[in-house]
Structure 1
Amino acid sequence: MSLLNAALFADPELDDLLDDNAHLAAIVHFEAMLASASATEGLIPSAAAHEISERLGQVQLDTAALGAGLAKDGVVVPALIGALRQTLSEASRPYLHHGATSQDAIDTAWMLQLAQIVPLLQQRLGHVDSTLDGLTVQFGGQKLMAHTRMQAALPFTLADKLSTWQRAIEECTTGLTFAAERALAVQLGGPVGNRASFEGKGDAIATRLAALLGLRAAPAWHGNRVALCRLAAELAGISGVLGKLGVDITLMTQSELGQAVISGGGGSSAMAHKNNPVEAELLVTLARQSAGSLGTLFQALVHENERSGAAWTLEWLTLPTVVRNAGSGLLMAQRLLQRLSFPPQDTA
């Protein structure tokens, strides 16, 4: 991680859920559970499924070799499956990844990662919501001059201002929950998305696999990226709402207004008197980056035929940024709000 990201946007908890090791572990887990579901439905021998589950739980991966395979194939799964098969007996090897395709493994792995990330973000949204409650109790009755179109408008209270932020946070919580319920679905379609490779048992295997993985059962969505993009939109919406909060705080802390004070703000190399609203500004930065990344991610809806290498790879480049910005922004907003106070104002 660069000095810029480590210093300004550090989020080790979320990074652990997003990194390559987490993604590879999720793919391996998918393969083990696919074998178990397939054996239960009679598609593969139970002995093979047992061996696959046991051996995959102990596997050590060579990431350099996987990287070489990814560079060659454009996707890590062929090299990964080849490596995993080497840990199995000759009798069991054909039953690993049986009937599945690379997109089944990667899409489901992403859903497994997001299924851990969404509750973390919901928890952080709750913390921000509670902190805004506390600020309202402490400062809400204070008079404040409202501003519309950057001009002084009419007096109102700080509670009015804070409620604008809080309602938006609550809307994000509701929207994230709804979008996640639709998006966090198992992916199982086989080579062309019709489950024909599962010999008439594809629907039953997919349903059983979803239950084993804690995901929603759904038809294959290889070329249908709507639910995934909708979830990303909710995540970018979190960043946007935090950006609105950040820009409001930035304006309120202007020396000429003095409506808000951030304890321990950033300093200047040339002007010792300054108390720069660094974290508020960074929330605006994350909001703008997420807005751009979301627009790029939505290009993945243009998904040619039964599978798109171009659109699929575009998701891998943009979705982690949208996810991480939401998580990092929520941490930053919580720190910022805890250091925020509001001096009494003369609104006469």
Structure 2
Amino acid sequence: MSVGPFQHPILGRLLGDDALAACFDAAADVEAMLDFERALARAEAAEGLIEPAAAESIAMDLARFEADYDALAEGTARDGVVVPALLKQLRTRLSPQAAQALHKGATSQDVIDASAAIRLKRAASIIDGRLADLIGRFDEWEAKAGATTVMAHTRMQAAKPTSFARKLAAWRDPLARCRARLAEVSDRAFLLRFGGAVGDRADLGERGQAVADRVAAELGLASSATSLHSERDGIAEFASWLSLVTGALGKFGQDAALSLQNEVGELKLAGGGGSSAMPHKSNPVGPEVLVTLARFNATLLAGLHQSLVHENERSGAAWTLEWMLLPQMATASGAATRVAGEVLAHLSLAPGGKDD
């Protein structure tokens, strides 16, 4: 048991995913925040709100920036957000003109939300690519063995014979629907949530929307007519998508584990897990992990929905809850796609199984 199983030196290989975890480490967070500040400076220069020389200086100096993470941690413990401490470090490296232009018209939530959107979009792309690969593997399995007759089970009891293609469809098709849903959710989830101090972009005057559009385009995010500082339904949709991904793979894992029971013997799994007390056993570790990750994300989804309740124009409590839950949900989804791929590489129909 560990506070952080996903990056634990022992549990991480079972439950974690290095590629997804890298989207949420401190270095990735800081780099994405710097991306926002560079994009903001360039957009404001293009709209005549700051001098082009200041924007060029910001872009150049931020590219060479090396964060003092201890100072950032101390500042975050004091302020509840990292941005004031980060800006303090950045401004000491800039000319007076550039230091004054940095972060113009923005607030801490703009920076943190932009960083989150950039990195969540990156995580979603990794997961989506793996879903495509898993769908392809199920297609290959169907072409090879889909016509095989197996026993269908209803309410955990043997029912009637059916084709193996029927079972494969129940594992594959939800993944295809998840890919389709991501395309629908993306423009609401991966938005530039930018509004300044109280979400109205007032400090940028009539150029606020133009600046927001330019920043969003440079960062590869969707733009919005409002800040969405306290309207988090798009983020909740994405969290639901993550839970649907792990839920679909959990269904596959549960079915696989049941089919691998000695009493059923419909599937076989090469390289199953061993037992310290019963060396004859081959435990379905991968399928079990898929079930665990599905239940984990389903549990966290309820917590993420609590973060929909932002009081007034900004909530410290609801906002912080997102920081705690979303990286875990995304990493769990990534781990599920990784584990599912490993399971498929070792899973096959058992010749002469009991339900033939």
**308-317 or 89-98: which moved more?**
89-98
Displacement of 1:139: 1.6
Counterpart for residue 96 of structure 1: 102
Residue matched to 2:148: 142
Distance 2:283 2:102 in 1: 56
User: Across the two proteins, how many residue pairs are aligned to each other?
Assistant: 348
CA positional deviation for 1:347: 4.6
- Give the match's secondary structure for 2:96: coil
Paired residue for 2:209, among 203, 209, 215? Answer: 203
Q: Counterpart in 2 of 1:53?
A: 59
Equivalence for 2:335: 328
CA deviation map 1:132-171 (0-9, x unaligned)? 1111122211111111111111110111101111111111
Alignment partner of 1:220 out of 214, 219, 227: 227
Q: Which of 249, 253, 268 is equivalent to 1:246? A: 253
Q: Give the whole-Å Cα distance in 2 for the aligned partners of 1:264 and 1:177.
A: 36
Contact 1:18 1:113 in 2 (8 A): yes
Counting only pairs closer than 5 Å after superposition, residues 74-93 of structure 1 correspond to structure 2 as: 74-93=80-99
TM-fit CA distance, 1:199: 2.2
CA contact (8 A) 1:143 1:345 kept: no
Gaps of 5+ in 1: none
Identify which of 155, 159, 175 aligns with 2:181: 175
Q: Deviations over 1:212-235 (max 9, x none)?
A: 111111121100000011011101
Cα RMSD after superposing both structures: 1.2
Q: Distance in 2 between matches of 1:243 and 1:292?
A: 14
The equivalent of 1:342 in structure 2 is 349
1:278 to 275, 278, 285: 285
Runs of 4 or more above 6 Å deviation: none
Equivalents in 2 of 1:50, 1:5: separation in Å?
Answer: 45
CA distance in 2, matches of 1:210, 1:225: 18
Following the alignment from structure 1 to structure 2, what is the Cα–Cα distance between the partners of residues 63 and 46?
30
Structure 1 stretch 215-224 or stretch 9-18: which is displaced more? Answer: 9-18
Q: Which SS does the other structure have where 1:147 is aligned?
A: strand
Aligned to 1:271, what secondary structure does the other structure show? coil
Question: Which residue identity does 1:173 align to in structure 2?
Answer: R
SS at match of 1:201: helix
TM, length-normalised to structure 2 = 0.95
For residue 4 of structure 2, what is the aligned residue in structure 1? none
Moved more, 254-263 or 167-176: 167-176
- For 1:158, the aligned partner's letter is F
For 2:16 and 2:113, the matched residues in 1 are separated by 26
Cα deviation per residue 1:81-131 (whole Å; 9 max; x = unaligned)? 111011101122111011100000000111111222222111100111011
In 1, Cα distance between equivalents of 2:201 and 2:316: 20
Mapping for residues 3-152 of structure 1, pairs under 5 Å: 3-152=9-158
Q: Which moved more, 1:249-258 or 1:214-223?
A: 214-223
Q: For 1:4-43, what per-residue CA distance to the aligned partner results, in whole angstroms no more than 9, with x for missing partners?
A: 4323124222222221110110001100110110110011
Between the aligned partners of 1:276 and 1:249, the Cα distance in structure 2 is: 12
Structure 2 gap ranges (5+)? 1-6
What are the Cα deviations for residues 241-296 of structure 1, in whole angstroms up to 9, with x where unaligned?
11111010000000000011100000111111111000100011101110111110
Please list the CA deviations of residues 178-211 of structure 1 after superposition, one character each: whole Å capped at 9, or x if unmatched.
1113211112100000110112211110011111
SS at match of 2:247: helix
Q: Name the % identity.
A: 42
Structure 2 Cα separation of the partners of residues 266 and 64 of structure 1: 41
CA apart distance, 1:303? 0.7
In the aligned structure 2, how far is the partner of 1:4 from the partner of 1:230?
32
Shifted more, 171-180 versus 240-249: the winner is 171-180
- For residues 6 and 345 of structure 1, the distance between their equivalents in structure 2, rounded to whole angstroms, comes to 34
Structure-2 separation of matches of 1:125 and 1:157: 24
By how many angstroms is 1:346 displaced?
A: 5.5
Give me the whole-angstrom Cα distance separating, in 2, the residues matched to 1:47 and 1:272.
Answer: 70
The answer to whether the 8 Å contact 1:145/1:347 transfers is yes
C-alpha contact (below 8 Å) 2:264/2:354 kept by paired residues: no
Relative to structure 2, which stretch is displaced further, 110-119 or 200-209? 110-119
Task: List per-residue Cα deviations over 1:270-326 (Å, max 9, x = no partner).
Answer: 111111000100011101110111110110101100000000000000001110111
Q: Is the 8 A contact 1:9 1:328 kept in 2?
A: yes
Deviation at 1:2, TM superposition (A): 1.7
Q: Supply the AA of the counterpart residue of 1:233.
A: S
* Counterpart contact for 2:131–2:337, Cα < 8 Å: yes
Supply the AA of the counterpart residue of 2:347.
Answer: L
Aligned residue number for residue 303 of structure 1 = 310
Q: Is the 8 A contact 1:142 1:345 kept in 2?
A: no
